[in-house]
Amino acid sequence: MPMTALNGSCSLDTIQQEMERLEQGARRLAVQLRLPLEPDWLWGVLTDYANLSRFIPNLASSRQLWRRGNRVCLEQVGTQQFCGMRFTATVELELEEDREAGELRFTMNRGDFRRFEGVWRIGHDTGVSSLLYELIVQGRPGMPIGLIEQRLRTDLANNLRGVQMEAMRRAGLV
């Protein structure tokens, strides 16, 4: 399924979200933010793989396993509290960096989901950058994706805010 951008007319610093229910319990979630930063700041943050867990909430660890040209493999562990229980998920992601297009596409090689894939996309127009995070996720049998759907929406928005704050910090704006 092609990844599509959300409405590009949202105001600065406003998070725009959409969610779509797909077949077999999968969900497509997309969050977008427009901010007054050059794309290079955002790209630098997104590709700082060893430090992602410092500024992305609920990401306990991120470790680069290998790099082959513009392809990178990461092991990431996410953790969160949900209904009084701690939920932990591990994924091994293969990422394809396309700096010119401003895209960082990822697919799960293995992990705690049946499907986990998406894209980070950076756009730029007249001094304003857009940061889009789109995710298609499908839980394993017995994993209540429907119950954690709202949690996913909140987490994706928080991930965008984490990237935004780190990019602004690096740019000397906070």
Question: Does pLDDT of 163 surpass 50?
Answer: yes
To which CATH superfamily is domain 18-170 assigned?
START domain (3.30.530.20)
Closest CA relative to residue 6, chosen from 21, 17, 19, 14: 17
Cα→Cα distances 83→79, 87, 151, 170, 172, Å: 13, 10, 11, 35, 38
Bridge partner residues of 123 (DSSP): 130
The whole-number pLDDT of residue 140 equals 84
Buried b (16+ CB within 10 A) or exposed e, 104-133: bbbbbeebbbbbbbbbbbbbeeeeebbbbb
Q: Indicate if the alpha-carbon torsion angle 127, 46, 60, 20 is positive or negative.
A: positive
- Please tell me what DSSP assigns to residue 7: -
Burial class for 68, CB neighbours closer than 10 Å (0-12, 13-18, 19+): exposed
103 band by pLDDT with thresholds 50, 70 and 90? very high
Q: For 38-88, write each residue's pLDDT tens digit.
A: 999 999 999 999 999 999 998 999 999 999 999 999 999 998 777 777 888
The pLDDT tens digits for 106-159 are 999 999 999 999 999 999 998 899 999 999 999 888 777 666 677 777 888 899
Mean pLDDT of 168-172: 95
Give the largest CA-CA distance in the chain: 47
